[in-house]
Homo-oligomer: A and B are copies of this chain.
Amino acid sequence: MIAEIITIGDEILIGQIVDTNSAWIAQELNLIGIKIKQISSVSDDEQHIIKSIEEAKSRANLILITGGLGPTKDDLTKNTLCKYFNVSLKFDARAYKDVERLFKSRGREVTEINRKQAELPENCKPIYNAVGTAPGMWFEQEGKIIVSMPGVPHEMKEMMKNDVLKRLPNYFDAPVILHKTILTQGVGESFLSEMISNWEDELPNHIKLAYLPAPGVVRLRLSATGTDKSILTKEVDDLVIKLKEIAGKYIYGYDEDSLEKLVGELLLKRKQTLSLAESCSGGYISHLITSIPGSSAYYKGSIVAYDYEVKTKELGVKKETLEKHGAVSEKTVIEMAEGVKEKLNTDYSVACSGIAGPGGGTPDKPVGTVWIAVSMPGKTITKKFQLGDNRERVIRETSLHALNMLRKEMMKEF
């Protein structure tokens, strides 16, 4: 089965909206063996929408449309689909219940324009919206499937997971496709590529490698296509074992793992606790840790010490240490880590101090210089990093290095 994605909305073609939906949809379809031929972004214009649907239909048998289902006047998708299929709108009671429930959870009354969101083209199977107001639509015509969903990412994702991705396998014979994403941290794309060059050259033709870099992390994805799942699984597993022999020290996890999730799982399993003392990361490590549901079971808190005085008074960093070594120094991060560990009474603590930039660099300590300490029962380890001169990246990479240092230490303990 071949699919195309059409993203509707002037906001993509003229504006600031980032299309996060297409990549997510592409990945989900790919996982079940549906290839994407093209991703196109078109404007909130009736003629343009209809033309793009017709073009997509000439190349693909599944067309997924996102966007243009909002309640406002610039949202044209639903009426355009009515015109395209030459059908009328019909009030759908269950879709209206969804609208009502959502408004109630926010303590508000349903407005007239939101009531209209419960009207749907009469030839569609509704895709109900558990988390928003606009229902999705599933159409079938001349052996082709056309699906229209809201552009709001979490609404679209709920519809895909609960409905579309479950219905699709009934419509085609899927090949066996196996994906394995290997997650690395602490190594750049080029170095990793050079390191694993021979391994990469020896990959068989039916197993493809993709590099998926993101700030501070490089993900390697193996995609194997074939007919026998157990053979593919064995092949991919063997390749991962070989890869671990070459680049194992950089690998922290697989697939949907994240450093904050892995650290959380380790702490939870061992009934241990964590505290943080953050300077240059400015609360971002704490944000990553608390993005995991249930983190309150093992995470006590962070002291974000952006100020000298907070470092001395709240974390017990000695004045002499700051004067003699500076805030960005090994001695300071050790005192920060040990200070917060004692104060918040946790098993582990992580501290960092660095120069996120753009200002504040010196010849000795240029922008991007970061010290990280991990403290645990009986010892504290440290490491120094040079993380370049982009503030956003320094903050993010500091946080990922810190979490990975903690993870590695926790793994050693057992």
Contacts and interface: CB of A to CB of B under 8 A. Distances in A.
A264 interface: no
A305 B27 CA distance: 37
A190 B38 contact: no
Main secondary structure, interface of A, reads mixed
Interface stretch (A5-13, A84-92, A167-175, A370-378): A5-13
B41 A13 contact: no
Contacts of A74: 209-211
A107 B191 CA distance: 13
Report copies per complex: 2
Contact of A13 (B26, B287, B305, B388): B26
Contact of A210 (B15, B23, B221, B360): B15
B16 A19 contact: no
A31 to B, nearest CB: 9
A365 interface: no
Contact of A282 (B200, B287, B393): B287
Interface of A: 10-20, 22-24, 26-27, 30, 35-36, 38-42, 70-74, 105-108, 111-114, 131, 133, 152, 154, 181, 188-191, 193-194, 200, 208-213, 219, 221, 223, 276, 278, 282-287, 289-291, 293-296, 299-307, 309-310, 313-314, 343-345, 356-360, 366, 368, 386, 388-393, 395
10 contacts: A18-B18, A38-B42, A71-B193, A72-B211, A74-B211, A278-B286, A290-B306, A291-B391, A293-B358, A296-B306
